Amino acid sequence: MLGQETQFLVLGAWCLVLGQEKQFLVLGAWFLVKLKTSFLRISLQTSNFKLRTSNFKLPPMLLTVEIPSRDEQMSFNRQRWCEVLSDRSFSNLPYRVETNCYGQLLMTPPASGGHSSCQGEIAYELRSKLGGRSLPECPISTLDGIKVADVGWYSESRFEQVANQNVFEIAPEICIEVLSPSNSELEMRAKRHLYFEAGAEEVWLCEVNGLVRRSSSFSTGRIELLSQDLHDQPDHTVEGRSGSC
């Protein structure tokens, strides 16, 4: 189409230049009228196209996300954690290593002195008051890869079920995270859900200044013994040491 308009323009201009003869003037005018008519037709076609496209709507699209089963994710986590533990290049890294559901490594800065001290106090208080097993840096297999709780407390009966595992596929009854400045609320909320899904009964979020937020899947007398001042309320916030941090 553009080639035709160009021809009209060139021929019309040429005829006007040679316009000493009357027939050339008439012919040039005719070419220019044809050119204007052609552009008008293109303009109308463009307007109709815009009108048609403005009324066009895409059909609804179905997004499918494939999520592995829990058994498949546990098997994948187990294999990936064995690879991480056997890789000597990770042994000297000054980071805590976790993974996501795809096996990609997630590294966080090392703990501060206050963080480490709080971690040690919590582990000691749990062991001394509840018995069982109190494990710092406790690796837990979750639906979103392997997460490492600052402290995990296992009863003896539950620990027997995971004693031979490199990464624990049943979470401790109590999972405790000591908060660092780099931790976000969204991250902690996600970890809490993952720990509960893996079998945790309690998730505690502790700050080094003694502030504790506790979430519970249900109430038990055993946990009340450790923290009588936390009152058995999920997401209850208490200021004070409460025998832990």
| pLDDT of 218 higher than 80 | no
Mean pLDDT across the chain, nearest whole number? 75
Model pLDDT, residue 210:
73
| pLDDT of 64 higher than 90 | no
Model pLDDT, residue 105:
93
CB atoms within 10 A of CB 115: 19
Whole-angstrom Cα distance, residue 1 to residue 21?
30
Mean pLDDT, residues 154-177? 96
Whole-angstrom Cα distance, residue 136 to residue 14?
92
Q: Say whether 239 sits in a helix, a strand or coil.
A: strand
Model pLDDT, residue 232:
40
Model pLDDT, residue 34:
56
Answer for the pair 190, 101: CB distance below 8 angstroms, yes or no: no
Which tens digits make up the pLDDT trace of 222-232?
444 344 333 34
Which tens digits make up the pLDDT trace of 76-125?
999 999 999 998 887 777 788 999 999 999 988 877 888 888 889 999 99
Helices within the chain (DSSP H only): 2-17, 22-54, 70-86, 113-130, 156-162, 185-197, 221-226
| pLDDT of 16 higher than 90 | no
Model pLDDT, residue 67:
79
Answer for the pair 166, 85: CB distance below 8 angstroms, yes or no: yes
Q: Say whether 163 sits in a helix, a strand or coil.
A: coil
What phi, psi does 141 have (nearest 5°)? -85, 125
Q: How many helices (H) and strands (E) does the chain have?
A: 7, 8
Query: pTM (2 decimals)?
Result: 0.65
